[in-house]
Structure 1
Amino acid sequence: MASIFTRIINKEIPAHIILEDERYIAFLDINPLVVGHTLVVPKKEVDFIFDIDDETLAGLNVFAKKVALAIKKAIPCKRVGVAVIGLEVPHTHMHLVPMNVMDDLNFTRAKLNPSKEELVQAAEKIRKFL
């Protein structure tokens, strides 16, 4: 069965897409740690990040860098943190999280529940810097 990310890639499920090309996609997390929390995903569905081929892994990082730089310009933050956890969805993905304090990258704390409009606004802000 296709992962939820593959269903987003295939446009079966709506998402607030930040950037997409033929190999990768970046979209907002709908239950973010902070505003601007973005997921970067290779379109090829592979569960564990270190099971993907070297070329795809390198490309994922370059793609994520482009998105992270746009997040940094769009969302007031000191840094954009990167996390690869991979326990919640069996499809390789990177979390890009705007950070002002260490706790902004704490996945055990309660997530935000932004409205659709708040997600639309965050996505538009970030896309302006791509």
Structure 2
Amino acid sequence: MSTVFTKIIAGDIPGRFVWADDVCVAFLTIAPITDGHVLVVPRQEIKQYTDAPDELLSHLSVVAKRIGRAQQRAWDAPRAAVIVAGFEVPHLHLHVLPAWDEASLSFANARSDVSGEALDAAAERLRAALRDAGLGTTIPAELGSAELD
């Protein structure tokens, strides 16, 4: 059975994509802990972190690092944080978000009341920072698409 992330990647459910390559995608979460909070998700359905091949984890880590650097620049954050939890959706994903302190990294701080316009603006802000970093070829052609030009 397809996970909600597989359906987002396929375009069956809307997503705000900021990254896409042959191995993974990144899109904004609808319940961000901080502005710019994204999920890095492999295209392949893998239930959890410990089930993933090492080479896939390496790729996801590099993508998370690049996105994290862009988040730091876009939001003037001192750190980028990565959280691997995976209880919400049985499809491996890394939470990557701009961070100012450890206390703000709790899922209890996730906001479900963020407007679509605010999420779109955060996605465009992060996409611009990725372009400025020379990573424009990894940005999907359209905000709601997981496909590259």
Q: TM-score range by the shorter chain?
A: over 0.9
1:108 is paired with a residue of what secondary structure? helix
Q: CA deviation at 1:76?
A: 2.7
* 1:83-127 deviations in Å (ceiling 9; x for gaps): 000111000000012111222211133524211110111001101
- Distance in 1, Cα, partners of 2:35 & 2:109: 14
> How well do the aligned residues superpose, as a CA RMSD in angstroms?
1.2
Residue identity in the other structure for 1:75: W
Map 1:104-123 → 2, pairs under 5 A: 104-123=104-123
Which structure 1 residue ranges, 4+ long, deviate > 2 Å from structure 2? 108-112
Q: CA deviation at 1:15?
A: 0.7
1:18 is paired with a residue of what secondary structure? strand
Residue identity in the other structure for 1:66: R
Counterpart of 1:45? 45
Counterpart of 1:22? 22
Counterpart of 2:140? none
2:107 is paired with a residue of what secondary structure? coil
- Distance in 2, Cα, partners of 1:56 & 1:85: 17
Counterpart of 1:36? 36
Q: CA deviation at 1:65?
A: 1.1
**Bigger proportion of residues as helix:** 2
Counterpart of 1:65? 65
- Is 2:48–2:91's contact at 8 Å kept on the other side of the alignment? yes
| TM-score, length-scaled by structure 2 | 0.83
What 5-or-longer segments of structure 2 have no aligned partner?
A: 131-149
Q: Structure 2 vs 1, CA of residues 97 and 87 (structure 1 numbering), >3 Å: closer, same or farther?
A: same
| 1:74 aligned onto 2:74 | yes
Map 1:89-108 → 2, pairs under 5 A: 89-108=89-108
- Distance in 1, Cα, partners of 2:103 & 2:119: 21
How many residue pairs align between the two structures?
130
